[in-house]
Every structure is written in C-alpha cells, then in structure tokens.
A and B are shown apart, each in its own frame.
Chain A
Amino acid sequence: MGRYLLRRSALAIASLFALTTLVFVGVNFLPGDPATAVLGKSATPEKVASIQKALGLNKPIWEMYTNWITHALQLDFGHSLTYGTGAYGYSDAVQGTAVSELIGGSLKNTAILASVSMILLIIVSLSLGVYSAMHRGSIADSGVQFFGLFFLGLPEFVLGALIIIAFAFYWPILPAISLDVTPKNLVLPVLTLVLVMMGSTVRLVRVGVIEVLKTNYVVTARLRGIPERRIIMRYVIPNAIAPVMQVFAIATGLFVGGVVVVEYLFGYPGIGTGFVSAASGRDYPVVQAYAVVLGCTYIVANFAVDLIALLTNPKMRAKATS
C-alpha cells in the first residue's frame, strides 16, 4: 500500500513536471514571438528589445527554463505583459502586475463554480443512477435513460445557449450573463455544467450499481430476505463506490474543458475566461500560469480520486498492497 502510494505520488509529480515543461515549451519555442505579439501593430525594434529583456528572452534557453520553473515552484509566474503600470516593458524598474496577484481572484471564482457543480453533479448522478439501477426497466428508469441520452448529445456550447434562451429570454427569471459571483448568477452556469456532465455520469453510476446488484453476495442477501434498504446501505453502496469514483475521475477531465467553455459563454470571471482573454491579449506569462493551474487542478483531482478509491475499496487496497 505504501509502495502504491509512493508510486502514485511520483506519477503525479512527474505529470506536474511534464505539464510545466510542455507549457513552457509551448509558449516559448513555438512560432509567434511574445514580445512582438504583445505590442501588436506598434512594435518597433526598440520596444521589442525592451520587452524581450523584461521577459528574460535574451538569456540562453536553459537559463530561461530553470529561472521560470524555480519561480513557478514558488507560485511566482512573473509579471503581466498587459496589465498594470509598467506593463509593455516600459522600464526595468516598473513592471506589470504580478501574475499570481492577477489570477488569484479568478481562481477563487472558478473554484466556487466547479465545486458547487461537482457536488451537485455527484448528488444528482448518485441518486438518479442508484434509483434507476434499483428500478431497472421501469418508466422512471427509461425516462432517466432518455434524458441522459438527450443531454449527452448536446455539447456545452449548444446546451448553454439553449438554457440562456429558455431562462433569460422566454422565461426571464435568471441573468443571461454572470459578471460576478452571486447565488443567482451561479444558477445557469452550474445547471449547464451539471446537465452536460449528467448525461454520462448517471448512466455510468447506473451500470456500476447494476454490476454490484448482480454479484453473488447481493443475490444471497436477497434470498436470505434481508430488507432492500439494508441491502443497499450494507452491500450495494460500499461496493459501488470504487466504480463510481472512477466515473467522477473521468468526469474531472471533461469538467476542465467544460468549465472553460461555460465561463466563456456566461462571461463568468474565472480561470476559463481569464485563459481565453489572456490568450487573445497575448499576455504570455499569464497564459502560462493559467495552463499550469488548469493542468494541476486536473492532476490533483485525479490523484485525490485514486486515493479515495483506494481507501474506500477493500479489493483495490488488496491489489495495491500486493
């Protein structure tokens, strides 16, 4: 078990390292000189040189990389190129706003949106999934299946647009855009995320539970006349946790992409909008930071899910120890 944990942590750290390296390479060595890009039409050789200096682009590659990574480890992602006094490489003495300061707020906003949606998603998919598994073939089950399929077929950018039209125009009870974080503003983005994800998660939970229901011990328990509710609590749920956790592990990957698109659709001030906005504003240090943050969230979430699965499932515990 200890060895498994060690391996799993090593993997997470290796992933983080690979992620930061790829982000660095992506931003620094692919076509498109950051200095020229940020200045736009008004780039002159002098201005480009001054930005390159501010970015440290005039140093050797390996030095740039070690510099960046040692700072990134301390959560210092440098200074914004487009925000704050001294942005645009005005002088060495005055620099743009620190990136970590810039992205702090959006990180918090996204954390709120993502955690509310995730909690709701888990509650909804667990209850609907378990319910339809227990009542296989009933009308309710078919209904859940049908709606699951329906939402599965709509990408976030379509579903979001339809939800806005429904709840902000035809039945105007909720805001069409969410410029700050209030409960009312959260409703539609959360609804979009949950519905989009629900299509697959409810079905996966249902299948996971059905597999457990087919196992010998549940069948035996039934034969012994143990009440249904007790069967669910004692046998079904504990054994379904592992497959269900896998469902949400997969979901986190989709979730990252979904959050970017949903934030963009609703103008929600989070990481997703920040990422798109920094990318179109050519603020490379900020883009780097966002990419690292997005990737880390995913890696850490996956790690956490694996740990929970390990701790809750006797079978996996055994496998990990062996």
Chain B
Amino acid sequence: MSSTRKKQRFRSYFSVTGWIGLSMTLSVLLIALIGPLVTPQNPDDLLGLPFGVSQPGALFGFDSYGRDSFSRFLAGGRYSLVVAIIGYLVGASLGLTLGLLAAYSRGWVDAALAWTSEVLIGFPALVLMLLLVAGLGTSFWVLVVALASVNVPRILRIVRASGREVRDAAYVEVAEARGEPRRYIMFKEIFPSVLPAFLVDAGVRIPASILLVASLSFLGLGIQPPASDWGLIISENRVALTVQPLAVMGPIVALALLMIGVNLALDGFKGNKSSYRRDIS
C-alpha cells in the first residue's frame, strides 16, 4: 500500500468536525506532555505576590502562593495524564483479557466474570475511587489502582458483549477444529472483531479518566500539593475567580477543549455508532 493511499484511507476515517475534534484533543495532550519541559519559570518558585495580576514575564499572573500561573498550567497536565493513561492501560489489559476469556469460555467462567463485573459496576466510579483513596492514601500507584479498578469491569463488559457475537462464527469453529490453543483463538480470532468497540471505548475512557483524576484533586483527595495539577490548580485558585481569573483559566480551558475535542472526534469517526458521552460508568 502506497503512503498516499494510506493517507487517504486515514483521512477518510473522520469527518471535518471529527478532524477539528481530533486536533483539539491532540493539542491538549501535547501541551500536557511537552508543557513541563518548556515552562518559562520554575513552577514551584515564589516569584510574585499571591494573586498578583498579569505582567511582562508572567503572562497569566500569579497563583495563591505567588507562583507563575502560566508555568504551573504548562506543568500541570502531565501527571493526571500519565496517571489516567497508566490507570487505563492496566485496566484495559486486564479487562480485555478477562472479557475475551468470558466471551470465549461460556459456562461458569463466563457467568462468574459477568456477575463479578456487574457487581463492581454497581459502584459509582467516584465513590469507589473516594473509598480507595480515603483508605490507601493518595500516592501515584493508589490512583492508578483506583482508576484501573473502575475501568476493568466496564471494559470487560464491553469486550464480552462484542466478543459473544462472534464466538459462534464459522472461523472460530474452524480454528477450534484445527486444535488451536485457547489463547490463540481469544487473541487472533475473536480480538479483531472486538477491536473497534474497544478503541471507541478507549477514546472516551482516557479523557474521562483524566477528568476523574481532576475531580479527585479538586476534592483534595487526588494529587497532593505542591505538585502542579490542573484539578488542583482550579481548586487552589478558584476562590479568586473574580480577582485573578487567569490563575484558573488555563486548566479550565484545557480540560474543556479535551472533552469537547474527544466527543467531536468520536462523533466524526465514521463507523462509530455510539454517541457523545463522557462518563465511564
């Protein structure tokens, strides 16, 4: 396949608004990833008066401690992003494996996995995370585990549902007749047909995880100061929304662009049958 054809095929995946959404999403992710490397000031240094307003060298003014708001905004996206992505990946690998296993196994294995996941989905995501964080503290890995435990049963359910549709397909039976091992059938035969649903789900689930981490930070139970984090920046500085709005605007706009972008992209993703949603419950 030539590269132009590849490109054309790739372009045809999205509508115009889809492309806009995709670029919004990617630019926010880019800021989050690269931001910490290009901060004009050390984001932890006390450089001005608390809530000092914008001035040359301090584009967004100063935050509640007198630190450079712009630098903190740039530095504040990565941690939640990394937590959200690792939390997602851990959850996804477990959820995918178990979901495929459930879809293929039938019988009591399927029933047990389906039931367990339904029971776990019975917990609202935020409440489950609050419980875990309240008990285990707020370290990086606790947040990852909390996010993963929110994600596993939900991904399992989606994978199982679309995997069940093909487990009786002829090609699966052929593979069985060939005597292929179970692992081969799960990942080589069933997985490809599960992939679209899995990917669309990932597109919603990763940003939703970022928002969930931001909500936890906002409630004081997520990432802890003095770290820069978008949720934390909003909660530390929102009291001065009428006095020094620039201290919170960066994170607010970035989070909004991320959510809107993801939804536009998914909506413009041709072949996606689901619609706008930002929850992961």
Residues of A at the B interface (CB closer than 8 Å) are 11-12, 14-16, 18-19, 22-23, 26-27, 30-32, 148-150, 152-158, 161-162, 165, 169, 199-200, 203-204, 206-207, 250-251, 253-254, 256-257, 260-261, 264, 276, 279, 287, 291, 294-295, 298-299, 302
Q: Report yes or no: A152 in contact with B122, Cβ–Cβ below 8 A.
A: no
Q: Known contacts being A14-B115, A153-B260, is A295 close to B124, with CB within 8 Å?
A: yes
Please tell me if the beta carbons of B281 and A253 are within 8 angstroms of each other in the complex. Answer: yes
Neighbouring B residues of A149 by C-beta, 8 Å: 260, 263-264, 276
Known: A30-B136, A157-B235, A204-B276. A257 touches B260 (CB 8 A): no
A22 touches which one: B131, B136, B256 (CB < 8 A)?
B131
From B118, B120, B127, A257 is in contact (CB under 8 Å) with B127
User: Per a CB cutoff under 8 Å, which of A27, A261, A298 touches B135?
Assistant: A27
Tell whether A302 pairs with B122 under 8 Å between CB atoms, given A254-B279, A294-B127: yes
Nearest-Cβ distance from residue A254 to partner chain B, whole angstroms: 5
Chain A: which residue is nearest B135 at the CB level?
A: A30
Nearest residue, chain B, Cβ from A211: B273
For A15, list chain B residues within 8 Å (CB): 118-119, 122
Is B126 in contact with A257, judged by CB distance below 8 angstroms?
Answer: yes
CB pair A295–B127 under 8 Å, yes or no, is: yes
Q: How far, in whole Å, are A302 and B277 apart by their CA atoms in the complex?
A: 18
B3 within 8 A of A: no
Q: Whole-angstrom distance between the alpha carbons of A156 and B137 in the complex?
A: 24
Q: Which residues of B contact A (CB under 8 A)?
A: 115, 118-120, 122-127, 130-132, 134-137, 211, 214-215, 218-219, 234-235, 238, 241-242, 252, 255-260, 263-264, 275-279, 281
Are the CB atoms of A200 and B118 closer together than 8 Å? no
Q: A204-B276, A291-B127 are in contact. Are A157 and B241 (CB under 8 A)?
A: no
> Chain A contacts of B122 at CB under 8 A?
12, 15-16, 18-19, 295, 298-299, 302
Q: How many angstroms between the C-alpha atoms of A18 and B153 in the bound complex?
A: 14
Residue among A15, A155, A260 with max Cβ neighbours from chain B (10 Å): A155
Contacts of B126 in A (CB 8 A): 256-257, 260
Contacts of A16 in B (CB 8 A): 122
Q: Give every chain B residue within 8 A of A302 (Cβ-Cβ).
A: 122
In the complex, number of A-B residue pairs with CB atoms less than 8 Å apart: 126
Q: State whether B259 touches A11 (Cβ < 8 A).
A: no
Contact A200 B131 (CB under 8 A): no
Main secondary structure of the interface of B (DSSP, over half): helix
What A residues does B242 contact at CB under 8 A?
165, 169
CA distance A295 to B252 in the complex (A): 29
Give A251's nearest chain B residue, CB to CB: B279
Q: Measured between alpha carbons, how far is A113 from B118 in the docked complex, in Å?
A: 28
Residues of A within 8 A of B219 (CB): 261, 264, 276
11 new A-B contacts, CB < 8 A, other than A15-B118, A30-B136, A155-B211, are A16-B122, A27-B135, A165-B242, A199-B276, A251-B279, A253-B124, A257-B124, A260-B126, A291-B127, A294-B127, A298-B127
Collect the chain B residues with CB atoms within 8 Å of residue A31's CB: 135-137
Which chain B residue has the least Cβ–Cβ distance from A297? B124
Bound together, the chains give a CA A15 to CA B263 distance in angstroms of 31
B276 A157 Cβ-Cβ under 8 A = no
Q: Does B279 lie within 8 Å of A11, measured CB to CB? A: no
Smallest beta-carbon distance A6→chain B, Å: 14
The distance from the CB of A157 to the nearest CB of chain B, in whole angstroms, is 5
Q: Select one of B118, B134, B276, B279 contacting A279, CB under 8 A.
A: B134
Q: Which A residue sits closest to B259, measured CB to CB?
A: A153
Enumerate chain B residues within 8 angstroms of A299, measured Cβ to Cβ: 122
How far, in angstroms, from A264 to B130 measured CA to CA in the complex?
A: 15
Q: Is the beta-carbon distance between A152 and B218 smaller than 8 angstroms?
A: no
Contact assessment for B215 and A207 in the assembled complex, using a CB-CB cutoff below 8 Å: no
Is B252 a contact of A158 with CB atoms below 8 Å?
Answer: yes
Of B134, B218, B276, the residue contacting A200 (CB under 8 A) is B276
Residues of A contacting B241 in the complex (Cβ-Cβ under 8 angstroms): 161-162, 165
- Alpha-carbon gap, A137 to B185, bound state (A): 45
